Each structure stands twice: as C-alpha cells, then as structure tokens.
A = this chain, B = another copy of it.
Amino acid sequence: MVTPSEPGREPRPGLSRRKLLGAAGVGALAAGAAGGGYAVGREPAAPIVVDPDAAPVPFDGVHQAGIVTPAQDRLYFATFDMTSEKRSDLISLLQDWTAAARQMSQGNDVGKFGAVAGSRYAPPEDTGEALGLPPSGLTITVGFGRSLFSVDGKGTGVARFGLDGQLPDRLKDLPSFSGDRLDRALCDGDLAIQACANDPQVAVHAVRNLVRIAFGRASVRYSQMGFGRTSSTSTAQVTPRNLFGFKDGTANIKVEEKSDVDDFVWVHENEGPAWLVGGSYLVSRKINMRIETWDREPLEGQERIIGRTKGSGGPTSGGDEFATIDFATKGADGEPAIAMKSHVRLAHPDFNKGAKLLRRGYNFVDGSNGLGQLSAGLFFLAYQRDPEKQFVQIQRSLAGLQNDLLNEYLVHVGSALFACPPGVGPKGFWGDKLFT
C-alpha cells in the first residue's frame, strides 16, 4: 500500500474515526459506542445516551461476525472474480481484506495512515467518506464460491490457486428451480463480501475500500444495496416487513436459540474439509417482486397466499404473531385455515424434513424498470449447515407455479452459494486454514 514519505508524519495505527467527531457527535443521540451515561452538572437535563446502533461488533472470534450478529438495518453485498490466477495473490488479498475489515469494523480507517494522514503526495489509504461516523454495527463477512476451487483453464487438471482437495462436497452449484429466470451476470462469483451496518454510508465505505484493495487481484462481479432488513434474527428485534407489506422472519432462527444455531448454521467436524469447520454456507438470491400486481390482490387473497394476517402477522389459523401454526384447523368454508399452497406452510419445517434456515435478507429498490414500475424486491440471504438439506429442500417445495401461491409475484434473477470460513484470531486471516 502507501509508503510514508514525509518525515515528521508519524503513522497513527488504528486511527479512530470517532476521534474526529466534534462535540455534537453524529446527532444528539449518538454519543459513540464507548462510554455513555449521564452528563454531570446542574443545567443539562438532556442525558447522554449511548446509541446501540452506533456500537462496534467484535471482529475476531470462533465464527465470522455478520452471521449470528442480530441483523443490522442496511446491506451492501458484492461478489468478486479473481483477475489473478496466482496463489500468492489470493493469499495476500485475503490477508489485506482481513486487516482492513478488522479496522473498519471497529470504526477505524483502513491502513496505517488512514484517510488524511501519511504522505500528502500519495493517494490516501482510506477513501474517507466514513470519517466522523461511528462503527454503526458494521460486520464484514466473506464467502468462497465453487469457482474458486475449480480446475484451472491451463489444461493442467489441477485446481485454481493450488486448492486441490479443498472443495467442500456441499459447495455444489444450486440446481435449477422451476420459475427461475437467472441473469448469469447476477449469479455466482469467486468471492463474496456481505457488509451490514446500521448506517448505509458505513457499509458502502467498507465494500468500496475492499474493492479498491482488490484492484489487480480481483474485481467486482455484481453488487447490491439493501435498504432495510427483512428478517428478524434476534428475539430482541421487532419483526420487520417485506415489500409485500407482511412481517417477515417471525419463524426465522433467532441467534439466541443456541441449539438451532448449532444444528442448522455451523459446519461441524468431519462434514467436509477441515478449513470450513465452524463456518457456514450462504445462499444469496436476488428476487424481483411484482409489487404492482400484488398491490391489486385483495387483502383476503394476500393473507391466504402468505398464510398470515397482514396486520399482526399471526397465522391465518388464529392467534398472534408468535402463535403456533395449526395446519389442521379448518375455516367456515371447510377449507384448511392455512391454505395448502400458502407460503408459510410450504416453507415450514414440518413439510421440509425439519429444515430451517437463518435468513438475513434485505429489501431493495433499484430504481424503475422503464414500464412505469419500480424495480423492487428482496435480496434473500440465508446461512445454513447443509445447503442440500436446507435451502434446496425448502426451495424445491416452494418453486413453481403449481406450488407456493406467492410465486406468481416473484422472479428469481440472481443466485449463488458460498462457503464462509470460520472466524479468525487476532493474527489470522480469512480462510487461512486453506493454505496451511
């Protein structure tokens, strides 16, 4: 990266963006992540309140952050293709990315000197648009696509980057599902970065700086902004609504449910190559929604299709949002109160050999489509231990117009599967066990 060339300018490792905050901070309520409490004195009636949305999430750990971290409000997701075929470039990229992600997640600039220190005659190491912003719950999570392990194009029959024998069996291409209309430019990728934060500027800053660091080694394949989380992933969170106007994620795995997290999220010992133990598989699906058509469906139809009421989110079999779904109850018309082809029934573990997912998706709007309509939908993200038994099982139940009633209003245009390595220690880097 940048070599300091000016004498007298000392490096400031770990320069905190928060040090640059004025007394006003970033709004009256966001007093930064550390400290807090009440102002002492006679006059100030206003308390100093620590905004939990501004706080940092630890980077190092047994698992990567951003999986069982309660879902933040905003997303910027990107996948990358390697533009170098050198093993050393892949290793150095992962090392550089890990160092930068560790710094940014704690609210620090990238690099030794950051955005405004170092030589004035070299490009700044950090692009600077997050200066003054708190960590904002930023997590940066990496995943590896199947193509990273594929046989290289040189006719040698060996895997790219010397990764022979490291491809997990479960890292297969996802099968085609009925109704898919995939745009290959919105699918797959050698590498994936999921940046989640409570401030979109912080998530954008993170991806942008990783893109910049990758230059000459990897470049962006596609990227997606998500403006609002559409799944509840913690018992402490209010269930948000998707763009169909329904609560989403009521029955999602909650990060507090340790048993489900262990059974359904993390890869265990002897389930593939050792480097992935403690990791997880990430499925991403870009799902466009025909919201204009949906908006013409009567309330009764919308609720029948989903299997939940629009107001409370309670199942159409009765009860409040968290009531147990009763698939046996019949309505006054003698039909099941939860329609046989309702989304909630077809996606339910009872009809999918017990399969559950940890969903972490986001609503998106990409502008308009030239037909006078909005280009809107759900960027579906789900973590799991075994894609075949979990996402593929459930999506096979849902896909196709003969199945989930909701499919009339959905078009899947992007798809990918990534193997996300476990977390790292303070001296480790993402995927380091791949290269030992």
> Which A residues form the contact surface with B (CB < 8 A)?
20, 22, 24-29, 47, 49, 51-53, 74, 76, 78, 81, 83, 115-116, 118-124, 126-132, 185, 199-201, 204, 207-208, 211-212, 215, 219-225, 227-228, 238, 240-246, 291-292, 295-300, 302-303, 309-311, 363, 365-368, 370-374, 376
* A204 with B365, Cβ < 8 A, contacts A128-B245, A238-B24, A295-B123 known: yes
Among B22, B225, B242, B299, point to the contact of A225 (Cβ < 8 A).
B225
Among B200, B227, B246, point to the contact of A204 (Cβ < 8 A).
B227
CB neighbours (8 Å) of A227 from chain B are 74, 200-201, 204, 225, 227
CA–CA, A424 and B207, complex, Å: 43
Q: How many copies altogether?
A: 2
Among B22, B225, B373, point to the contact of A220 (Cβ < 8 A).
B373
* A49 with B47, Cβ < 8 A, contacts A121-B298, A295-B212, A368-B220 known: yes
CB neighbours (8 Å) of A76 from chain B are 365
* A238 with B363, Cβ < 8 A, contacts A121-B300, A295-B127 known: no
9 more A-B residue pairs beyond the given contacts A27-B238, A122-B299, with a C-beta to C-beta distance below 8 A: A49-B49, A81-B372, A122-B298, A131-B310, A207-B374, A208-B374, A220-B368, A223-B367, A227-B227
* A120 with B225, Cβ < 8 A, contacts A245-B131, A365-B204 known: no
Question: Which of A74, A115, A208, A363 has the most B CB atoms < 10 Å from its CB?
Answer: A208
Residue of B nearest to A291 (CB): B208
Decide if A49 touches B29 in the complex (CB within 8 Å): yes
Decide if B374 touches A120 in the complex (CB within 8 Å): no
CB neighbours (8 Å) of A243 from chain B are 127, 129, 204, 208
* A124 with B310, Cβ < 8 A, contacts A129-B245, A201-B363, A368-B222 known: yes
Question: Which of A199, A221, A299, A363 has the most B CB atoms < 10 Å from its CB?
Answer: A299
CB neighbours (8 Å) of A374 from chain B are 207-208, 211, 220, 223
